[in-house]
Structure 1
Amino acid sequence: MGNIAYEINACLKDHRMKRRIKKAGVITSDFIKKEYGKSKQLRFISGAPFLPIGYIKHKSPIMKRNVVNAYTKEGREEIHRNLSTIDVNILRFLMEHPIPQRSIEYNDNRIALYCA
């Protein structure tokens, strides 16, 4: 992310952007305060926090099973084996009876959470 941050910071130093970017401001979100509050790269544009891309941290997944993936025959078989314990009648009911007041994405997530 450091290379991307370097390119973005070069654009932010443009004379038109310099006037809009401030170092002082108020962080209203607890998440932003917790994750990015200690960063010296945090800036504010029109009072809203502009998060520093170079400050993003990444953790590799621990205890991830290498067998389960969609790119090999064995991985796909493992995925299907994990899904075999799902009650098909309940899954069919969820698909045929969506909640009409909610979005398609909500109903899709409802089915995905049942499968998980």
Structure 2
Amino acid sequence: MSWCSPLPTLAETCLANTSGGELWLGVEDDGKASGLHLKHQNTTHLLGLIAEQTTPPLVVSVQQHCIDSVIVAQIIVPRTNTLIATFEGMYLKRRIKNDGTPECIHIDPEDKA
């Protein structure tokens, strides 16, 4: 079962508890640019939203790109040695399933892997 939702905070938390990475908003799984949702077009707001909904606050960077005439956002999650939790207190880790698709799983903060 995947615990990552379309909300950025869960996905960034998953990436923060691995080796960092990128999350693209406005890009579909098949790579097609669909554009940012209206509520994500203010990327400065995204930075604050992610920081305030993670513990300790996760500081990411966001870059906007124009692809196929639509605006998308690249969220860059840094590598960290500190476990990051969601505002609900969940610790998540991103991994690749056997079929090659990504998922986020719960991890025990005592057993950081």
| Greater relative contact order (Cα < 8 A, sep 6+) | 2
Q: Name the structure where helix makes up a greater proportion of residues.
A: 1
| TM-score range relative to shorter protein | under 0.3
Structure (1/2) with the larger strand percentage: 2
Q: TM-score, normalized by length of structure 2?
A: 0.22
- The TM-score with structure 1 as length reference comes to 0.22
